[in-house]
Amino acid sequence: MADNFDAIVIGGGPGGYNAAIRLGQLGLTSACIDKRGSFGGTCLNIGCIPSKALLYASERFHEAKEDFAKLGIKTKVELDLPAMMAQKTKVVGELTKGVEFLLKKTKSEAIVGEARITAPGKVEVKAADGKIRNLTCKHIIIATGSDVAPLPGVTIDEKQIVSSTGALALTSVPRKLLVVGAGVIGLELGSVWKRLGAEVTVVEFLDRVTPGIDGEVGKAFQRILTKQGFTFQLSTKVTGAEKKGGGGLKVTVEPAAGGDKSVIDCDVMLVAIGRIAYTANLGLLEVGVAMDKRGRIVTDAHYKTNVAGIYAVGDCREGPMLAHKAEDEAVACAELIAGKAGHVNYDVIPSVVYTFPEVATVGKSEEELKAAGVHYKVGKFPFTANARAKIIMATDGLVKILADAKTDKILGCAIIGPEAGNLIAEVVLAMEFGASSEDIARTCHSHPTLTEAVRQAAMGVEGWTMQM
Ligand code: FAD
Ligand code: NAI
């Protein structure tokens, strides 16, 4: 085993493993270090993959219970939670093994242990048994990801007061689930447990759900979730949680602006108020790597920190905390290290909430365009007027496309509806190519598909949507 590499990657998540694999493809030697004991990072182990596995399974459960009869299919549906969890664990296991296989294939050494930078080009790795290995390299890529943002005054035990990690592994369906934070995690994992039978109340500090998403789509989203049975307490904050004898929780809330306190009883509370960059025990202060006020590693556009030979990608630096953003940065960083022209187009990074219906966005929201004084045109199309949406009984939602008033260049898109996460890919590609709304409007789309709603919204920009 060599102890010297072209590059050492710290972190085995989408930022880390993609960097190591790309380095290997480009002929550079690397080691990829993760302390978790299983590669794939937050995404594969406790994030994207297990959450989507439970979202998929719970959606099928709900469909079988509520919708099959309407299609003329009679069933007696029963929940087998241990089997559902086992299927989630199986998918996670297969995918994490897949990452190890890819690292091996590209000749990157996968090392399990906690890494610390002792100097530029020097990394110490401490294995679980305490054994130390000292490695050297030309380049260090930090991809240590993020961790749960704590809620002051509340201690997470991952049983009754859980973060997303505990919420992905509950052993029974809570009767009452209180979700703190109406962001992506709160609404996705709230949906899982709602479908499986929990009463779900969401407490949100701001006066809207999913801040940052197009306002019109955000309002529609809240309306649809309320119709599904979610209860929202907006402009409200949680100030404490007390365990009751007998297993429940007494959660104290008050208006965000201050005022009278009230108490909400629940069985489980999910804290989902954001994530923070994770850089603990990495030796950054000692080596002098600059960080911003939010604890994120500061880099230039080429992912270089202020210390020569040290780079950072993914959740531990600025930008959306998304697996595909981490992956794209990893590839670009590896390519730049190899002397190629790696680049990420931050204007076209899609974002998807995998609830039902899904919510997908890319580019600018209408509010952002207004604030920037950009003249734009809007095209919209509701799923109620789409044939495929009617067939699959999923007509809630709409597609909204924003284009420059003068050039017709697509500036943004927001979709709330069935398969929104897949539908947005067409608009992302169009935007990457600098397309106009007319380009999508004049492209032939198969019938009857959900993609026709995207085309109709694009046609709507010039006012020739065909709607009954
Ligand atoms: P991470 O995946 O966090 O990986 C960092 C790794 O570094 C970790 O495994 C950690 O153990 C390791 N590490 C840290 N410090 C050290 C050290 N000193 N030594 C060795 N190893 C170390 N994003 C999406 O795009 N789509 C989704 O559907 C989605 N769903 C999510 C659901 C949940 C519940 C959560 C929590 C997140 C979700 N995300 C999703 C976000 C996504 O998981 C992250 O954006 C992504 O994992 C970031 O990748 P990363 O490589 O930067 O960091
Ligand atoms: P988030 O930033 O999406 O939402 C947090 C919400 O909590 C916000 O609405 C915020 O206003 C609210 N909040 C903050 N402090 C609060 C308080 N004290 N009381 C009540 N509400 C409060 O963060 P979330 O949901 O924790 O997710 C973290 C990150 O993980 C996301 O930013 C996203 O990047 C990533 N993620 C992505 C997914 C996807 O792509 N589908 C799925 C899950 C997570």
Answer yes or no: is the C-beta of 266 below 6 A from any ligand 2 atom. no
Ligand 2 pocket, mutate which of 45, 51, 168, 184 (most atoms under 8 A from CB): 184
CATH domain 161-273 topology: FAD/NAD(P)-binding domain (3.50.50)
Same fold, 161-273 and 348-461: no
* Smallest-distance ligand from the CA of 270: 2
For range 28-46, the mean pLDDT: 97
> 363 is written with which tokens?
């580019």
Domain boundaries, the chain: 4-147+276-344, 161-273, 348-461
Any ligand 1 atom below 6 A from CB of 12: yes
Q: Is the CB of 10 under 6 A from ligand 1?
A: yes
The string of pLDDT tens digits covering residues 412-433 is 999 999 999 999 999 999 999 9
**Longest Cα–Cα distance in the chain:** 70
| Residue showing tokens 């270089």 | 304
State residue 21's pLDDT score.
98
pLDDT at 388 > cutoff 90: yes
Q: How confident is the model at residue 85 (pLDDT cuts 50, 70, 90)?
A: very high
User: Which residues are CB-contacts of 177 (< 8 A; sequence separation ≥ 6)?
Assistant: 190, 193, 194, 198, 199, 200, 201, 266, 267, 268, 269, 270
Closest CA to 174 of 275, 241, 107, 248: 248
Confidence check: pLDDT of 272 > 80: yes
Q: State yes or no: cis peptide before 120, omega within 30 of 0.
A: no
Task: Give the tens place of pLDDT for each residue, 137-192.
Answer: 999 999 999 999 999 989 999 999 999 999 999 999 999 999 999 999 999 999 99
How much is the average pLDDT of 55-68? 97
pLDDT average, residue stretch 53-70: 97
Nearest CA residue ID for atom 4, ligand 2: 183
Q: Is residue 460 in contact with ligand 2, taking CB distance under 6 Å?
A: no
Give the Å distance between the CA of 181 and the centre of ligand 2.
6
Classified by CATH at the fold level, domain 348-461 comes out as Enolase-like; domain 1 (3.30.390)
- Return the closest-CA partner of residue 141 out of 242, 16, 17, 35: 16
What pLDDT is stored for residue 181 in this prediction?
Answer: 98
Instruction: Taking residues 122-148, report their average pLDDT.
Output: 97
Task: State yes or no: pLDDT of 122 exceeds 70.
Answer: yes
- Distance, CA 33 to ligand 2 centroid (Å)? 28
Question: Read out DSSP for 1-19?
Answer: --SEEEEEEE--SHHHHHH
| 4-147+276-344 has CATH 1.10.3210.10 classification | no
* Reported confidence tier of residue 347, pLDDT bands at 50, 70, 90: very high
354 lines ligand 2 (CB under 6 A): yes
Predicted TM-score (pTM) above 0.95: yes
Known catalytic residues? 447
Residue 403: enclosing H or E segment and its boundaries? Answer: strand 398-404
Q: Which atom of ligand 1 is found nearest the CA of 116?
A: 18
The encoded tokens of residue 331 equal: 């590839």
